[in-house]
Amino acid sequence: MGPKLLLLFIVGDILGTGVYALTGDVAGEVGGAAWLPFLVAFAVATVTAFSYLELVTKYPQAAGAALYVHRAFGVQFFTFMIAFVVMCSGITSASTASRAFASNMAKGFGWDDGPLLIVGIALLFMLLVAAVNYRGVGESVKANVVLTLIELSGLLLVIMVGFLALFGGDADWSRVIAFDTPQDKSVFLAVTTATSLAFFAMVGFEDSVNMAEETKDPVKCFPKMMLTGLGITGVIYVLVSVVAVALVPVGDLASSDTPLVLVVQAGAPDLPIGTLLPFISMFAVANSALINMLMASRLIYGMARQHVLPPVLGKVHPVRRTPYVAIGFTTALSLALIVFVSLGSSDAVAVLGGTTALLLLGVFAVVNVAVLVLRRPGKRKGQQRNHFHAPTVLPIVGAICCLYLVTPLSGRAVSQYVVAGGLLVLGLVLFVVTTAINRKLGVRPVPPEEDEENLKSHGAIN
């Protein structure tokens, strides 16, 4: 990939479910100043991106956070948990997308959006994603360009409607600077709570490190394109959130699973745009779900090959060459999450999206620390020369900010910790089971960098 395709890949990976589904929930926490949490989330993501840029140019391999953590700390259990948490974040993100898909589908076809119908559509959608995954869908950069342009068109449509309403005098721009926080929260706590949700809209940039080996001159391309991509999405998110609160009252936004549809309908009631946006939104979140489930199933397969998960999860279909057991495992986990969270919460999208942000913020905190550890003289083996160097203060600030947003001090909902805790317990059980299997078979776990070489030697799965 050259710089232009890399930029489109990064923008496409970040855009998606977050802004389409969670704008209303963010506005519900802070009122009209919904743009501020997106701006703070952008700042935290950008600081962490500097750490990823240093590491991906030091180690231009596709293993991502697991490789960096293993290089820095060399503790197999820690490496396993980081990889497992990344996998779980993909599943919770796809589950969030499935709920958003169901809500937009019901809105687009004019169906009654009762909870049973929404859950049923979400479950069927995830089964469809599994079927596509089973057939063997590789990530195509050219396809990503098309999908990115469609996702982007929906957001630009919202912004355009907002500016039309501005000139028509239909928007209430005074709401944009108004804080309307819950009575039990200060403005600071409300902003951090909303940021913990808005951060879900900024994740995805870290996936681009997996394209390091397919990028021309990554040391030169990655820093410019990743920071440019983050900047583009950050500006779009701020504009979308400003337009949303200017056109639709905060209470209506907060109570809707399709907030941007309300925005378009309010800004252009006489145009058929409002009937089109639900289908654009469906396409955007469907793309997010498929990409995340592809990532999760392939990561499970890779971990099984490394002997850090039971070997049965590494089985490949003899004809399709797809990791069908891993696909079944990740799909079952996503279905269970959809049902469990839907039964336990009236706002499943916020719980699942917030859990995704919680899991990845924990990973980002560790990655920021790993940057500093890997600068020590004894840790420089295997590093590329002339790599990108982040200012030392940024990994420190990034680690502190990410850790704060992980803790209950940020105002994060307890339900998110319950879901994340359950996934971590599952990971611990799988690690113990795998350790017992490895002892019986007399095998050892394979470090991420060694597995990279094996993949090159034996070829990738479909």
Residue type at 38 in one-letter notation: F
pLDDT in tens, 76-97: 899 899 989 999 999 999 999 8
- Write the DSSP assignment of 147-168 as a string of letters: HHHHHHHHHHHHHHHHHHHHHH
Distance CA 287, CA 294 (A): 11
Q: Report d(CA 347, CA 350) in Å as an integer.
A: 6
- State the helix-helix crossing angle for 141-168 and 218-247, rounded to 10 degrees: 30
Q: Which is higher by pLDDT, 156 or 385?
A: 156
Q: With beta carbons less than 8 A apart as the criterion, state whether 8 and 224 touch.
A: no
Cα separation, 165 vs 400, whole angstroms: 41
Query: Contact at 8 Å (CB) between 427 and 81?
Result: yes
Least confident of 209-213, 393-397, 429-433: 209-213
Mean pLDDT of the chain: 84
Spatial distance between the Cα atoms of 306 and 443, rounded to a whole number of angstroms: 10
Distances (CA, A) of 236 to 47, 153, 202, 247: 19, 11, 11, 17
Pick the closest to residue 263 from 168, 178, 191, 155 (CA basis). Answer: 155
Share of the chain above pLDDT 90, in %: 30
Tell me the whole-structure pTM to 2 decimals. Answer: 0.87
Distance CA 262, CA 266 (A): 6
- Confidence label for 137 from pLDDT (cuts 50, 70 and 90): low
Q: How far lies 405's CA from each of 68, 317, 329, 369, 402, in Å?
A: 22, 41, 30, 16, 5
Reported as a pLDDT band with limits 50, 70 and 90, residue 41 is very high
Average pLDDT over residues 306-322: 85
> How many other C-beta atoms lie within 10 A of the C-beta of residue 445?
20
Least confident piece of the model among 96-100, 304-308, 407-411: 304-308
pLDDT digits (tens, 9 = 90+) for 340-397: 998 878 788 889 999 999 999 999 999 999 999 998 887 767 667 778 889 999 999 9
Minimum mean pLDDT range among 64-78, 144-158, 358-372: 144-158
For residue 25, the SS3 value is helix
DSSP structural state of residue 209: G
For residue 327, is pLDDT > 50?
yes
Interacting residues of 144 by C-beta distance below 8 A, sequence separation 6+: 8, 9, 12, 13
Residue 266 scores a pLDDT above 50: yes
Q: How many other CB atoms sit within 10 Å of the CB of residue 3?
A: 16
Classify domain 3-458 by CATH number: 1.20.1740.10
Closest to 313 measured CA to CA, from 138, 84, 132, 69:
84
pLDDT of residue 139: 45
- Those residues with Cβ within 8 angstroms of residue 225's Cβ, 6 or more apart along the chain or in another chain: 3, 6, 7, 10
For residue 63, is pLDDT > 90?
A: no
How many other C-beta atoms can be found within 10 angstroms of the C-beta atom of residue 98? 34
Domain boundaries, the chain: 3-458
Residue range 206-216: mean pLDDT, rounded: 68
In DSSP notation, 409-435 reads GGT--HHHHHHHHHHHHHHHHHHHHHH
Check: CB of residue 389 under 8 Å from CB of residue 54.
Answer: yes
Q: Helix 35-58 vs helix 393-406: angle between axes, to the nearest 10 degrees?
A: 130
What stretch of H or E contains 396?
helix 393-406
Instruction: Provide the Cα torsion 280, 282, 288, 289; round to 10°.
Output: -170
Determine the Cα–Cα distance for residues 12 and 287; give it in Å rounded to an integer. Answer: 9
pLDDT at 287 > cutoff 50: yes
pLDDT at 138 exceeding the cut of 70: no
- Coil, strand, or helix at residue 346? coil
Angle separating helix axes 17-30 and 76-109, nearest 10 degrees: 90
Phi and psi angles of residue 313, each rounded to the nearest 5 degrees, phi first:
-75, -10
| Least confident range of 42-51, 73-82, 157-166 | 157-166
Residue whose C-alpha is closest to residue 50's, from 193, 157, 205, 182: 205
* Single-letter code of the amino acid located at 228: T
3-class secondary structure, 357: helix
pLDDT category of residue 414 using cuts at 50, 70 and 90: very high
Amino acid of residue 33: A
* Residues 444/438, Cβ–Cβ less than 8 Å: yes
The predicted pLDDT at position 420 comes to 95
Cβ atoms of 247 and 89 closer than 8 Å: no
CA 268 – CA 263 distance, rounded (Å) = 9
CA atoms of 359 and 405, how far apart (whole Å): 11
Q: Contact 59/448 with Cβ under 8 angstroms? A: no
